[in-house]
Structure 1
Amino acid sequence: MIKCVQIFLVSLLVPLLFYSTLFAQGKPYEGPEDGAGDPAAERVGFMEGNRVRLQFRNTTELSDWGAGTDPFATKWPNDFTGVKMNDGIGLLIGARVFIYDDPATPIDSTPVTDSLEIKRLDQAGQLDTLYYLQTSYREEQDTDPTGQIEWNLYPPRGYFRWESETPALMSKPQSWPPEGWPSRGFEKKWPGEWNGRFGRGVFRADEECYFVANDAQDQEYLTEEDSTTYFPRPGIEIGDYDPEISIQVGLPWGGVGIRVEQRGFQWNNPQAMDAIFWEYSIANISDYDLTQMAFGYWVDNAIGGGDDNDELAAFDKIKDLAYSWDINGLGLGSLPTGTMGFAYLESPGKPYDGRDNDDDGIIDEKRDNLAGALVGPTDGIADVAKFLTFYNLQESDLREHWEGDEDQDWDSYSDDNGNGIYDNGEDANDDVGLDGVGPYELNYIGPDADGTEGNGMPDLLIGVNAEPDFGLTDVTESDMLGLTAFRLFPIPAHNPPYTNWYRNDESMWYLIGVDSLIEYIGSTSNLAEVFASGVFPVYRGQIERISMSELHSFDPLEGLNSATHTSPALFRLKEIVQIIYETDYRFAQPPHMPTLIATPGDGSTLLTWDNIADTKTRDAFLKNVNDFEGYKVYRTADNKFTDATTITDGYGTKSLRKAIFQCDLKDNKSGFADFATFNGVAVYLGDETGITHSFRDINVQNGRTYYYAVVAYDYGAPDIGTGVAPSENNIIIELDESENVVFHSKNVAIVTPRKNAAGYNLTAAYDIEGAENLIGRGTIVPELVAPNALSPDAKYTVKFNVHEISRIRNMDWGVRWVCEGLTVSTDGNLVFEDSDQNMNSISVDSTETLGYRFLQPGGVTTDIFDGLVLHIDVPVITATYDYENSGWLKGSAAMTVTPTIVESNSFPWDYDIIFTDNPAEYTTFISPAVERSVYDENDVRIRTGLLAGVFNFRVVNNSIVDTTSGENKVMDLVVQDMDVDGVYNPLNDRILVGAIDDRGRWAGTVFVLDFFNVATEAELPQAGDVYHVRFAKPFWSTDSLTFSVRVDESLDKSAITKGLENVKVVPNPYVATNEMEPSLANPNLNQRRRLMFTNLPARCEIKIFTISGVLVDEILVENPRTSVSRIGIC
């Protein structure tokens, strides 16, 4: 350690002329300040977001091989018919570092980064060259002198939850770092949300992983024996930023000073479900420019996982696609193998050489520049014709753009009103701000605090994010070098000098750093593939990128083994892969994933799921359209859904699952999608059934375990290119090495149907509040039908949707309406809403005849939500006078109340006629002499004979409150002078009861009073008498009620005692196997035997004895709801 310090001090005294352009393009690194990588931080995960299963380590290593490793570290397809496809994939980062050979010092350590100085010193024989190959792989790496520490890439802390067994996976929030993600320097960002490629909690793939590694632990050229050394970060030691580091603490930061940020992507769309993508962002975090670098990949083929020496391979230079296959098409267990391809997608850029390296008409574009100035349509384009061809544009498509948006694809907000500022309701497009979250996202919390949302210009900040289609997120804003090296060769021998192995850095440099596109023409063998880009500089603080995709397909062997090596299915998949890449790793996504809850029953399973897919989906690929189309339910008896995959493609390959249940929107989109067929297969969209959120499966056997998945699917995108096929949610079931389920996605449920435990009783009680205050008439009764889906302690609020048929002008309470449905929410979250798209809607669709929908009278039941249904009974469609419930509350005078046949429909409230001892309790408000809009009960206009009157009673509207006084509205009273004597006589005249509008005018007659059946005034109503006038009304918009559910569990001891005689052991343990036992794919595992005790009490103890009375086992049963207990037999 002392010697290293001395070397550094000597290097500081060397004149700086040798790196005159050291900081010409370089700058300090602005991203996260990570600690050194640490083997203690290594984690292993699996990408299983589609039909490709691939193990990954957060060291950058993919797949695996060897004793004790997962036999399916890679597998395709990911079911019981799948086979292993490769034994390892390694990232290759090569570098040549030049050191001044100073004759005056015993140890040389001064970097030379100026190209002219490198050439001069080389010609003078004063230049040392150090070769580096940075990777992480299972074998043949550099190690420390003891051979115990591998000098390879390791992950730093901070990018996953330390307690997690896996690196950070999008589908596993429990794997995310709880304190947030490293950002700029030592800052953190976005705690509790996914660090997506496009921002905070932004998901653009069906599965994604994210991790970081660095080369700090590589001490090659830094040992005491080295006479030429390189310190990439002088003065920084291992452990400086992370005191908990487990190895090599106190040694200098080694390697070349690179940081690798890696993401994996998978889509479950039928067109992309056989591909996986890997994107690498490689930063120079050292103090020096790295003038000569090469990036690439190593792939160890293992097609079929069996015989390693029967592989052939080919390379298509135009497609940048290498592919290999097994010559007889059979792998381990004689399973079909298919074809494996690797598509080279993104390559590093050379943004400072003054050349158009990618031939797109732009010179030296890069992905870390800021917006710059607003420039004209052709500014920044060196060759307009090439630009138009490369980006498939017309000259009319060119537009004013920001300098940093070289390819002109960033879209500002839609300024719909032309006021030059971003307003609520306008589409943000790409102008979503640095957090990447726009108003259509579920996690949107408002505009970015830094002002980047809706500011009309693209934003970027290293370490944080960039807006879509700009800089860090835009793959085409790079002057890419392209693929420069490709080799296919048999796996090298494991002996000195280890040529073409990682420990021989120099040989690896000449493998990846020299132009060599060589197609393999040898015989069948165990092949390795290497493809790379080089040579290019990565200046200090700069980030360069590389990406690839692993593809799989089944193709006819005749074509593969022919001289032309045709692989039509793989080539078609490569086209889709290219589209996904060129759209910045965005593709059509399925709707939001529903959460599935299963409730087992006796000979059945009830499945229920939430409505997030049909209500909250917004597909960014389609400009935030809700493209939800329907739901499918799959059932299988194996944990890979193999027996559900029965639909074959045009090649006879099983490719799609067959649903046991499907429901879809009533939107005139049905039958087969006649666009974007893949290998001759079209997706079935449904039969216009309407949507439901439950399904009861009765085709099951008690005691047998079933795996269910509900997937939401969309309509696809027929108008994009040749069409994008409908997408559906992924199904994830993660197994350990013993094939036990350790994780499954939230749309999966594992169920064993059975009877309830003997003597077990479950009852539900409902606490309902607010029913007495409802304006509308009807009953709403909840019922618990799926106890497993109930949200404990939830309080539900029911509100009603109203359609106004007509409204009286100049007032807000003269309205005729129908209740067209209801909503149910809890804690502000909508959990149920009826619509015409529901399979069993509680409302009648009369839009074509009446122009509106209405709640069905006579008793209906809602769809299931949170394990509940609502039974609803309403007596009327529109309001009608309620003769049965109208009448005297107190009193018995012969008063006749006649509702008007038309106008009362607009004022169907509850009224009280209250008689007092005040002869002037109410005086007519309007002026009858000038009023011309008073109608009688038969809707006949009364043109004459109206009088103002003074009355000893008033009519109060109990439903409507005057917002000014806070009191209930009082109705106006007008006399109809029936005896035409010009004087109000209660025994001879009638009283019209009506409403006054906001202008003080008569708005309508509600009902008419008369006392014609009263003989004398003494028989008139007395003070204190009250008459109810009631209307039966549909539920009103202000109506609401709340309810909660209490579940009580109890045991019936007498039933338990009586039921003991029914306890049985099934099946016969001497039978070789039975359907209750799980199937296994691993050939190294034996099938597990299983016995089941049925009809057990909820709580009991089982003791098993030999025939001679020796106690073998004792089982304590604590299963409140199940009558079944299982034991395994070894």
Structure 2
Amino acid sequence: MMWSDTKTITILPLVLGLVLGQGIEYEGPEDPAGDIAAEKEGYMTGNRVFIYFRNTTELSDWPRVNVSKWPNNPNGLKMTDGIGLLVGAKVYIEDDGDDSTVDSTALTDPVDIYTTDHHTLYYLQTSYREEMDKDPTGTVEWGFYPVFGYFNETGEYPAVSNIESSWPINGWPSTGFETKWHGEWNGRFGRGVIYADQESYYVVNDAQDQENLGAEDMVRYFPRPGHNVGDLNPEVTIQPGVPWGGIGLRVSVRGFQWNNPQARDAIFWEYSIANISDHDLRDVAFGYWLDNSIGGDGDDDLGYFNKQVDMAYSWDINGIGAGGLPTGVMGFAYLESPGLAYDYADNDNDGLTNEKRDNEAVAIIGPTAGITDVDAFLEFYKLSAEDLRDHWDADEDQDWDDGEDLNGDGVYQLSEYYGDDIGIDGVAPGELNYYGPDIDGTECNHRPDFLIGVGCEPDFNTTDVSESDMVGLTAFRMFPIPSHAPSNETMWFKNDQAMWNLVGIDSLEEYTENISNLVEVFASGPFPLYRGRVERISMSELHSYDPLAGLNSLDHTAPALYELKRIVQVIYEKDYRFAQPPKMPTLTATAGDGEVILTWDDVADTKTRDPFVGNVNDFEGYKVYRSTDKYLSDPEIITDGYGTPMFKKPIYQCDLVDDLLGFTDFGLVNGTAYNLGYDTGINHIFVDNTVQNGRTYYYAVVAYDYGVPDLGPGISPSENNTVIELDEAETVRTIGKNVAIVVPHQRAAGYVPPTVEMEQAVLLGSGSVTPSIRAEGSLRTGHDYYLTFSVDTIATVSSYEHGFEYVTNGILIYDDTDSSVLVYQENESKYIGTNLIYRDTLEYWTLNPSGTIFTDVFDGMQIEIDPGVETPSYNYDNSNWINGTGIMRVTPSLVEGGRMPWKYNIVFTDDDSAYVGTARSGTVRDENGSSIGSDKITEPAVSFFIQNTSFIDTSTGQYELMDIVVHDVNSNDVFDLYEDRIFVGAPTGTRWRATAFIIDFQLATESTYPSPESVYQVDWERPFYETDTIRFSIGADGNLDRSAIASDMDSIRVVPNPYVMTNMMESAVGNPFLNQRRRLMFTHVPSDCIIKIFTISGVLVDEILVSNEPENGIIHWDMLTRENLEIAAGMYIYHIDAQETGDQKLGKFAVIK
């Protein structure tokens, strides 16, 4: 369009100063032009909102089915046919008055625009499935295209946080042509920082839009003069060599999903839109296009818009969607809008007029400095006057927190509070990927830092949503889908001016028409987008089940939806940070015969750290879910107050012993509480022995935290998401690392499982140790291991090396195959369940003596340990004559004996001076700890000696001999063998230190006195000692017993037989356009065999080549012929040929349809 009139107006000098000179050089990544070859398709599966997205800014699709679903389970329905980002703009080109020349001089100065004849060009930039501007050939859409560099070009997906293989292999584009953070996620908050359960990230630009750049166009706009498509990527596949087109936009897009029960029905999208052109854009509007399809049939929808909360929502008039399923409600919340930082007006009513996201912190200013309306500021940010503080000038909302470097060494220790002063890489001390302070000095410098294209510290500039003077939502329309009849006035994307009139006006309209297939358009504008500057827009799609009567009422009530909107607002105002679940465990599943063994790592309980609750480890427990369907919907049987399925019921749960137990009384979701467990102790293994062979099971192990009880009404505990991503044929594309798909099975014919071989060992400990195989698939066959213990001394005997009472307080397991490598450890800082307990009376940790304990699974094995005793106790059963006989009484010392709890031999001889005591002084105490005073005879001579057979005297190479002192019972100063008592104690020289036990012959006579060479063993029950070593090894891979194959093949069966219509091995199919996948199972087959199936007349129907893992003895047949046709009902013959031995099996089965 052309303006022919010259405008003459008066502009105040102040206003001129406000609107001029705000553009800067763009300092972000130097991206090539977008390319259709860079387009990728992905799915957001981080919670119950399932949505397909293309890295072009388009969400969902039509008429495809598996592109939008809520909830993401078999009862979910399609909710939208498409969502598109809209960026509209008006560009002004000087009119030179000569119709024969091309006009291309851009006008950006308001004075020039209002005083100069000019043309007005309209642009609407988007990417959508229909009604787009196209090139003259109709083959190239003029809109947004994705940029190479932001995903793995050899992969299938756009970059998503939960699929590492989708990330760019050479790092992420940074400033100019530099890259950053190779091998780590490019998080909103920094290197590898992921605050949501799933995030996505991609970049587009509008360089391919050649509208107003054709040879026939007499008015042209060149956003980047001198830049052409293909300059940076000569291999561009469309329109190489044309001028860089569009209006010079670069859009980076992030998607976020949280699986917390209070947020799992919402998804967030944040768009950062940069002007990378050489010109300011004076009039721009950002917005969204939403095409409803509530329940999969979008022609009977109603909608409502609430101006107070900037949310529109739609529902099906009768609440019945495709397949007769209930539809629920879809809301669309408008969150962040572009900012106006240079108009000296408080557009968002927060008491600030100059908020920016790209300004540098220069100086610390006073508490109220920079605030134009203190009362409005306090009300908006929910503060009191006492909360105001000195702050950095660029931290306008005063929420950036400095750290406390207490020792002044310039480095935050784990014990020091680091606040937001963690550097522009966003990685704080204590994180798994923390490698030290940022090399650029931005960490611990006590100033908020930001670098375009690289990163920003939390609560500052680009990471802080409130540091923008947002214009808010200015335009909303809800209307029936426009006609597709040719017209340049319908509200379709190809009609740029018509779309500008939709998004560039200040009008919020409620929809009052009849039910229809509705479109919603949200927008903010117009506003200036200056050269080199970035503005943002964000939204949330949210869902709920609300009573239909309330929705169809005049007030259109939707209490569940509005509660979710409240949570959405909390997440947004927390800068897209919300309660995170613990670190996700990695699940390993081993299929057995009638059982499935699940094991997982300990990263959740040891490495979790949630910044939302002060960077503490808020891990609480694990839950295991099992399902027979790919949506994991079987366990979702716990309903909320509206009767809607809310939580899954686990088949196993374990939690910390921390007095946090039972159901929460905070963070209730529609009246439903979360079960924290019952202080059972943590384990990392579960054996499910309630499974059927041949049936497919889907398992997930989730770690959960204890929630946030003290934030408002509380935030419910968060647990890991479970992802099983399906394609449109319902074939599994990917699964999360905490998910396993398992088919339990019979053993293959002739299979010999691996074994654990143990060496016999002499142990001081009285307990037992038993290794067992738990996960054959994880075994390291041929490896040698040994297990030993750590101990804690709780009492000692002075001056005696072997005089101490101890407890076992740790387990250590080493792989000793090539070198000694520690592979497993438990101690007071890390232990499983209640394997260790703490005794606060004497302040020590010990193995739990109350029963058998089990280690975690390592290398496919688990160790069963019976600790025996906690502290030493006299072993009456094992104290007896081992040679000869006689009458002698042995009394253990209850106090001091436990400090010398060894095995002793009392050896009798024919030498009356076989041993002569050495102790001459010191206090001697009896079995009760009472001193015998002076009633003792030192240096007595006896005809026996006492060996400590638990230790060798290193100086002599012989057993250590214990010392003796006589208790002169009758006080006659004479050693009377049959009246006095002999105290046995520590051999510590001339001073008596402690009594181990007491012997006497008061019940004996000369005839019953032990004869020479008689030996009596005195023994104690002891905890495991640090010298106790148990060695074991894993035999070679499971061998094949060829001789057993023939007999084992007699057990081959066809299941079910007869086959009648269907069976439990066949998974449900949710897609109505797909056929049932039939399954018939052969059991006990050799792992390497050929199965041929014939009709009763001998016609070959199909041939199955079986090449299973050595232990797997089942194979499923899809009941299709070699021509991929379904078989007919009837009788069939099967022939099985074992490839290893040639053994054969012939049988039959019936099929009844």
Query: C-alpha distance in 2, partners of 1:99/1:1093?
Result: 76
1:85 aligns with 2:82: no
Query: C-alpha distance in 1, partners of 2:576/2:570?
Result: 8
Q: What is residue 1102 of structure 1 aligned with on the other side?
A: 1091
Q: What is residue 8 of structure 1 aligned with on the other side?
A: none
Q: What is residue 97 of structure 1 aligned with on the other side?
A: 91
CA contact (8 A) 1:819 1:855 kept: no
Q: What is residue 916 of structure 1 aligned with on the other side?
A: none
Q: What is residue 872 of structure 1 aligned with on the other side?
A: 865
Task: State the Cα deviation string for residues 42-91 of structure 1 (Å, max 9, x = none).
Answer: 1000101111110011111100013xxx4121111111111111100000
Query: C-alpha distance in 1, partners of 2:952/2:648?
Result: 57
1:653 aligns with 2:644: yes
Moved more, 38-47 or 370-379: 370-379
Structure 1 residues 829 and 725 mapped into 2: Cα distance closer, same or farther (>3 Å)?
farther
2:65 aligned residue (46, 63, 71): 71
Moved more, 433-442 or 188-197: 433-442
Write the mapping of 1:594-633 to structure 2, written as runs, cut at 5 A: 594-633=585-624
Structure 1 residues 157 and 314 mapped into 2: Cα distance closer, same or farther (>3 Å)?
same
Query: C-alpha distance in 2, partners of 1:468/1:811?
Result: 59
Query: C-alpha distance in 2, partners of 1:215/1:532?
Result: 19
1:1116 aligns with 2:1105: yes
Moved more, 134-143 or 446-455: 446-455
1:462 aligns with 2:459: no
Residue type of the partner of 1:687? Y
Query: C-alpha distance in 1, partners of 2:305/2:959?
Result: 85
Write the mapping of 1:295-334 to structure 2, written as runs, cut at 5 A: 295-306=286-297, 308-334=298-324
Q: What is residue 151 of structure 2 aligned with on the other side?
A: 160
1:116 aligned residue (103, 111, 118): 111
CA contact (8 A) 1:22 1:288 kept: no
Q: By how many angstroms is 1:137 displaced? A: 0.6
Task: State the Cα deviation string for residues 284-338 of structure 1 (Å, max 9, x = none).
Answer: 22222222211110001111112x3211111000010011111111111121111
Q: What is residue 1091 of structure 1 aligned with on the other side?
A: 1080
Residue type of the partner of 1:594? P
Structure 1 residues 34 and 23 mapped into 2: Cα distance closer, same or farther (>3 Å)?
farther
1:60 aligned residue (57, 60, 63): 57
Q: By how many angstroms is 1:941 displaced? A: 7.0
Write the mapping of 1:173-192 to structure 2, written as runs, cut at 5 A: 173-192=164-183
Task: State the Cα deviation string for residues 702-756 of structure 1 (Å, max 9, x = none).
Answer: 2222222222222211111111112221111111221111211122222222211
Query: C-alpha distance in 2, partners of 1:812/1:588?
Result: 54
Q: Secondary structure, in 3 states, of the residue corresponding to 2:33?
A: coil
2:1069 aligned residue (1080, 1084, 1095): 1080
CA contact (8 A) 1:72 1:83 kept: no
Query: C-alpha distance in 2, partners of 1:103/1:1042?
Result: 96
Structure 1 residues 974 and 697 mapped into 2: Cα distance closer, same or farther (>3 Å)?
closer
Query: C-alpha distance in 2, partners of 1:654/1:858?
Result: 40
Residue type of the partner of 2:533? Q
Structure 1 residues 959 and 260 mapped into 2: Cα distance closer, same or farther (>3 Å)?
farther
Query: C-alpha distance in 1, partners of 2:367/2:378?
Result: 12
Query: C-alpha distance in 2, partners of 1:212/1:795?
Result: 52
CA contact (8 A) 2:668 2:716 kept: yes
Q: By how many angstroms is 1:757 displaced? A: 1.4
Residue type of the partner of 2:81? D
Q: What is residue 25 of structure 1 aligned with on the other side?
A: 22
Task: State the Cα deviation string for residues 669-693 of structure 1 (Å, max 9, x = none).
Answer: 3332121212222222333333333
Residue type of the partner of 1:49? G
Structure 1 residues 975 and 185 mapped into 2: Cα distance closer, same or farther (>3 Å)?
farther
Q: By how many angstroms is 1:390 displaced? A: 0.8
Query: C-alpha distance in 2, partners of 1:162/1:227?
Result: 39
How many residue pairs were aligned? 1082
Write the mapping of 1:233-252 to structure 2, written as runs, cut at 5 A: 233-252=224-243
Q: By how many angstroms is 1:503 displaced? A: 1.0
1:475 aligned residue (465, 469, 478): 465
Write the mapping of 1:237-276 to structure 2, written as runs, cut at 5 A: 237-276=228-267
Write the mapping of 1:902-1051 to structure 2, written as runs, cut at 5 A: 902=895, 905-906=898-899, 1033-1036=1022-1025, 1045-1051=1034-1040
Q: What is residue 553 of structure 1 aligned with on the other side?
A: 544
1:1063 aligns with 2:1060: no
Residue type of the partner of 1:463? G
Query: C-alpha distance in 2, partners of 1:957/1:384?
Result: 83
Residue type of the partner of 2:114? K
Structure 1 residues 285 and 808 mapped into 2: Cα distance closer, same or farther (>3 Å)?
farther
Query: C-alpha distance in 2, partners of 1:882/1:645?
Result: 54
Query: C-alpha distance in 2, partners of 1:328/1:823?
Result: 64
CA contact (8 A) 2:32 2:230 kept: yes
Query: C-alpha distance in 1, partners of 2:442/2:1018?
Result: 60
Structure 1 residues 946 and 261 mapped into 2: Cα distance closer, same or farther (>3 Å)?
farther
1:131 aligned residue (122, 126, 149): 122
Structure 1 residues 179 and 800 mapped into 2: Cα distance closer, same or farther (>3 Å)?
farther
Q: By how many angstroms is 1:1064 displaced? A: 2.6
* RMSD between aligned residues: 4.7
Query: C-alpha distance in 1, partners of 2:712/2:794?
Result: 45
Structure 1 residues 443 and 1091 mapped into 2: Cα distance closer, same or farther (>3 Å)?
same
Write the mapping of 1:434-513 to structure 2, written as runs, cut at 5 A: 434-494=424-484, 495-513=486-504
Residue type of the partner of 2:863? L
Aligned sequence identity (%): 55
Structure 1 residues 352 and 1095 mapped into 2: Cα distance closer, same or farther (>3 Å)?
same
Q: By how many angstroms is 1:345 displaced? A: 0.4
Query: C-alpha distance in 1, partners of 2:744/2:1103?
Result: 24
CA contact (8 A) 1:603 1:702 kept: yes
Q: Secondary structure, in 3 states, of the residue corresponding to 2:532?
A: coil
Query: C-alpha distance in 2, partners of 1:1068/1:969?
Result: 71
CA contact (8 A) 1:195 1:201 kept: yes
Query: C-alpha distance in 2, partners of 1:1038/1:154?
Result: 67
Q: By how many angstroms is 1:820 displaced? A: 3.6
Moved more, 247-256 or 410-419: 410-419
Structure 1 residues 791 and 378 mapped into 2: Cα distance closer, same or farther (>3 Å)?
farther
1:208 aligns with 2:199: yes
Query: C-alpha distance in 1, partners of 2:625/2:411?
Result: 48
Q: What is residue 147 of structure 1 aligned with on the other side?
A: 138
Write the mapping of 1:411-426 to structure 2, written as runs, cut at 5 A: 411-415=401-405, 422-426=412-416
Q: What is residue 9 of structure 1 aligned with on the other side?
A: none
Residue type of the partner of 2:734? F
Q: What is residue 48 of structure 1 aligned with on the other side?
A: 45
Task: State the Cα deviation string for residues 943-980 of structure 1 (Å, max 9, x = none).
Answer: 9999999xxx9999998999xx9x999999999999x9
Query: C-alpha distance in 1, partners of 2:991/2:26?
Result: 76
CA contact (8 A) 1:903 1:1004 kept: yes
Residue type of the partner of 1:206? D
Query: TM (normalized to structure 2)?
Result: 0.84
Residue type of the partner of 2:694? G
Structure 1 residues 816 and 849 mapped into 2: Cα distance closer, same or farther (>3 Å)?
closer
CA contact (8 A) 2:810 2:825 kept: no
Q: Secondary structure, in 3 states, of the residue corresponding to 1:819?
A: strand
Residue type of the partner of 1:53? F
Structure 1 residues 1070 and 451 mapped into 2: Cα distance closer, same or farther (>3 Å)?
same
Q: What is residue 432 of structure 1 aligned with on the other side?
A: 422
CA contact (8 A) 2:66 2:728 kept: no
Q: What is residue 631 of structure 2 aligned with on the other side?
A: 640
Residue type of the partner of 1:62? L
Query: C-alpha distance in 2, partners of 1:350/1:658?
Result: 50
CA contact (8 A) 2:28 2:176 kept: yes
Q: By how many angstroms is 1:1035 displaced? A: 3.7
Residue type of the partner of 2:68? T
Residue type of the partner of 1:89? I
Write the mapping of 1:350-749 to structure 2, written as runs, cut at 5 A: 350-415=340-405, 422-494=412-484, 495-749=486-740
Q: Secondary structure, in 3 states, of the residue corresponding to 1:265?
A: strand
Write the mapping of 1:274-289 to structure 2, written as runs, cut at 5 A: 274-289=265-280
Q: What is residue 985 of structure 1 aligned with on the other side?
A: none
CA contact (8 A) 1:609 1:865 kept: no
CA contact (8 A) 2:809 2:827 kept: no
